[in-house]
Each structure stands twice: as C-alpha cells, then as structure tokens.
Amino acid sequence: MSHVVVVGAGLSGLAAACHLVGDGHRVTVVEREDVPGGRAGRLTRDGFTFDTGPTVLTMPDLIDRPLRAAGSSLAERLDLTLLDPAYRGFFADGSTLEVRHGHEAMRAEIHRECGSLDAAAFDEFVIWLRRLYLAEMGSFIDRNFDRPTDLLANPRAAAQLLAMGGFGRLGPMIRRRFRDERLHRLFSFQAMYAGLAPDEALSIYAVITYMDSIEGVYFPKGGMRAVPEALAGAAADAGAEFRYGTSVTELVRDSSGRVRGVATDDGEQLASDAVVCTVDLPTAYRWWLPDVRPPRAVNGLLGGNYSPSCVVWHVGVRGVADGKAHHNIHFGHQWSEAFDDLLKRGTLMSDPSRLVTMHSLDDEEAAPEGHSTLYVLEPVPHLEVGSIDWEAQSTRDMMRERLLGFLQESGYPTDVVTEELVTPADWRDQGMAAGTPFALAHTFPQTGPFRPNNIDRRVPGLVFAGSGTVPGVGVPMVLPSGRLAAQRVDQMLGRPA
C-alpha cells in the first residue's frame, strides 16, 4: 500500500485525504494546529466561539464529494441550514436589498425594490448564469491542466464561454443588464473573492454569483468549523492518520530531487511515496524549495498579482442587533473609486464596503445568551502594495476605532466583552504570501491553465493543493483542489485516475 503524507488539515488537505484514503492509499495528515480547519479555523475565548476563516458556504455537493470518497456522506456528517436571505445589503442612501434564495423570491425582491425592467432582466441573467456554470465547471474549474492548450481539449465549452462573453469584464456586463446601481453592486461584489475589482474581473467569475444567488448559501450546525471536522472525521474513520500539533520543517528529498517524505518538528521523518502540500504556494517554495526557481512570472510567483488582504475583527458583544441577517454587506457611497484606493494607491478605502457576519444568529454555541458574535471584515491592501505599517500598535488601534465607529453607526451592539483583530501582518505570520488570505488574484494570466500548476515536474513526488494553485481561491474551490491533487498522486504512482 502506498503512503501519502498530506501537509495541512485545511479544507483542501482534508478533501485530498478523503479522496486518497478512498483510493486505497495509506494517508497521514500532519497539521500544526491542534484541530482541523487551516484557514477555516476557530477561536474560543471568554465564552464565545468564533469561526475565523470563510463565512459563506455554497455548493454543498462539493463537500459531499470527498465525504463519499471516504465512505461517508453530507447527510451523515453535516446538518445544513439554508440562509434566506443569503445576504442583506445596506446601501449608503439608507435602502436595503436582500439576496433571496430561489429564482421567484429574488425576482419578487427585485420587482418590489428596483422595478419590472430589472425583474425581467433577472430572468435572463439566471439563464445566462446557469449556462455559464455548466460550461465552466467541468471544463475550466474542476480539472487538471498540463499546459494551456489543454483548454482546447473541449473546444465546444471554450467556444461557448467565449460566445457568452465569459472573457469580458464582470462589472460592465452587470451594468449592461441592470438599471439599478444597487444591483450592480449586489451582483458583482463577489469579484472581491477572486481578488479583483468588478471592472477588472473576468465575467467567468459570475459563477461565484451563481453559487451565492442561485444555488444558495448555507450554514452548518455547529458553525463553519463543522465542515473541516466532518471531513477529518470521515477521513479518520476510513483509515487516515492525523498528527495534530505537529509542524513540517522540511521536505525530505533524495539525490535526484524526488520528494521522499517530510521531517517534523519533533525530530521524526515520515517516509512516503508522495506528499500533498497545502501551504500557500509561494511560501512553500520559499520555505522548502529554496533551490528550485519558482514558476515564471506569468504564473504569479515572481512579481505576481496578489489579491487584496483584509482586516477581520472578531468581537463578542452584549446584546443582539435588530434588523440584521446572518451575512450583512454595507456598501459605501463609492464603488470603483474605492477599489482604486485598495488596488492602485495601496491605501485604506476612503469609503469602504464591509461585511458583517453574525454567526451567533444561527449557532447557539457561538455566544452566551443575550450576546452576539460579530465577524467584521474590511478589505485592505496586501503587504506588497502601499506602506501601511501593520506592525505598529497605533495602526491596529486606529483600525479598531474605525471599525467600532462603523458598527455604532450601523446599529450593531458595541458593548465589547472580548475581541481579536487580525491584520495582514498576522496573515503573513501564518504563512500567507503578501499577507493576504486570498492568495494570487484571478487575473487572466493567473486563471485556469495559466494559474500555478499543482505539480512541478522538477520536484517529482510533490503535489500542491489549496487556493494558490488550481482551481483557485475560497470555499468551495479548494475542495476540488484536493480532489485534483489526489488525482495527480494516482497519476504519479501509476494508478488509474
């Protein structure tokens, strides 16, 4: 039986472990933290439990896939609640719009708030989004590429994406379809998940809008942390071994350069036939492959284009907010101009849009009775743009006061019991290149077959997974990343994929 070591028990590593153990490999997962999750982590303090990573869960079938590979299922491991509304949008003019689940409910919301023309436009938009998703998922997202020309392996899908305007720009495409400016924002802010301003993002990333607005947003009982717990439990029950509280210090390579295992901080060497590495890709090269020149700049690792970072303020407060949903997006007056601050000038947004997630509304374990958890996210420049000194206590204090003032103005409770502020410097210290948890931006030269590959043929025996490689950033994309990594391992070891 072949032995595969998976470095990191984040979502991509756990998905890889599920697929690998299901394929008959002996699997050892090495994780530096004491619990699974990686970027989908948790923080427990003063009676509050915070989900510290992704807050939006879509496409649960992509969680079911690795669970089934390990002999389990979504129905067995997770209890999901559909969030309706998925988001509540608050606009600078005092109005609100909700992203409702289901075509008819969302159409009614648009008709009531924006008028009949935009409601009719939404009908056509939904048809376009579904066609885009079907053309894109199998041929462009959920597959391995050996070379850019592999995109032409399915010329019909490539031609369809081109004919649908998938390689145009998202922002202008949304503006052509809808009259109400609020819909421009509500259907394009998802470009930020891909690390780009809506006017710079490719229209293919409207697939994220499809996942949110059409397929629905869910919340698991027990919080977002229940997702990695479910995947880890399924992999362990299928035979995978987990070593928590253990850090990998180096990749063990033989004289030919082939990876033969890993060394850990407890002095042990784990021999293996292959290693799946989920460390942020540029960081993996810097830490463990200093003798290997990273892939060329077009693949983003030399002068690459990184996604913006963010500040996240986890706050446990006394009180419960009225009129707020699980996910709340507060849009500023500005839109395109604010992205210029973030992406070009490298400064804080002069008029920012922010996300506030209240897990405690649907997670009874998150906060004591009569209290709330607030997850407050503001996009900020990554560390290679601008000159904000996130190491300075004065900068952290300024950011805290800025977010506290926003919460007060927006009607949230602000009697703080406990808190944790996470900045780009903290993301960097966790091993995330450029201090961003969103990895390389999905510019055209860093998308699909042009994104850094999950193998480097100069380092046989090593496979990458996670948001820095294919298919890309975020939940649910890192789940297929784990499956694609497991497929690569099978190919390396001469087994049927």
pLDDT digits (tens, 9 = 90+) for 75-112: 999 999 999 999 999 999 999 999 999 999 999 999 99
pLDDT of residue 299: 45
Whether pLDDT at 451 is above 80: yes
54: tokens are: 């992704």
Which helix (H) or strand (E) segment holds residue 25: the answer is none
pLDDT digits (tens, 9 = 90+) for 24-35: 999 999 999 999
Asked if residue 381 lies in contact with residue 433, where contact means CB atoms within 8 angstroms, the answer is no
In the three-class reduction of DSSP (H, G, I as helix; E, B as strand; rest coil), residue 470 is classed as: coil
Asked if residue 58 lies in contact with residue 218, where contact means CB atoms within 8 angstroms, the answer is yes
Q: Considering only 246-250, 302-306, 346-350, 385-389, which range has the smallest mean pLDDT? A: 302-306
pLDDT of residue 154: 80
Whether pLDDT at 130 is above 50: yes
Listed residue (271, 268, 284, 314) closest to 440, CA to CA: 284
pLDDT of residue 449: 87
DSSP structure string for 322-343:
SS--SEEEE--S-SHHHHHIII
Name residue, tokens 């190491």: 391
Listed residue (128, 46, 115, 126) closest to 317, CA to CA: 46
CA–CA dist 471, 305 (Å, integer): 16
Predicted TM-score (pTM) of the model is: 0.96
109: tokens are: 């919301």
Whether pLDDT at 176 is above 90: yes
pLDDT of residue 297: 45
Listed residue (8, 146, 2, 6) closest to 432, CA to CA: 8
CA–CA dist 299, 183 (Å, integer): 33
Query: pLDDT grade, residue 301 (50/70/90)?
Result: low
> Architecture of 3-41+56-79+222-303+443-492 per CATH?
3-Layer(bba) Sandwich (3.50)
Angle of CA points 327, 218, 440, to nearest 5°: 70
Query: pLDDT grade, residue 496 (50/70/90)?
Result: low
Name residue, tokens 């007060």: 408
pLDDT of residue 237: 98
Question: Average pLDDT of the chain?
Answer: 94
In the three-class reduction of DSSP (H, G, I as helix; E, B as strand; rest coil), residue 129 is classed as: helix
Which helix (H) or strand (E) segment holds residue 360: the answer is none
Instruction: Please tell me the total number of residues recorded for the chain in this structure.
Output: 497
pLDDT of residue 304: 66
DSSP structure string for 410-451:
TT---EEEEEEEE-HHHHHHTT-GGG-TT-B---GGGSGGGS
pLDDT of residue 8: 98
pLDDT of residue 59: 95
Asked if residue 334 lies in contact with residue 424, where contact means CB atoms within 8 angstroms, the answer is no
CA–CA dist 318, 368 (Å, integer): 9
CA–CA dist 208, 193 (Å, integer): 8
The domain ranges of the chain are 3-41+56-79+222-303+443-492, 102-215, 307-433
CA–CA dist 128, 163 (Å, integer): 11
DSSP structure string for 238-306:
TT-EEEET--EEEEEE-TTS-EEEEEETTS-EEE-SEEEE-S-HHHHHHHH-TTSPPPPGGGTSSS--B
Asked if residue 379 lies in contact with residue 349, where contact means CB atoms within 8 angstroms, the answer is yes
Whether pLDDT at 300 is above 90: no
pLDDT digits (tens, 9 = 90+) for 402-437: 999 999 999 999 999 999 999 999 999 999 999 999
Whether pLDDT at 302 is above 60: no
Phi, psi of 232 (to 5 degrees): -65, -40
Average pLDDT over residues 396-405: 98
Asked if residue 27 lies in contact with residue 296, where contact means CB atoms within 8 angstroms, the answer is no
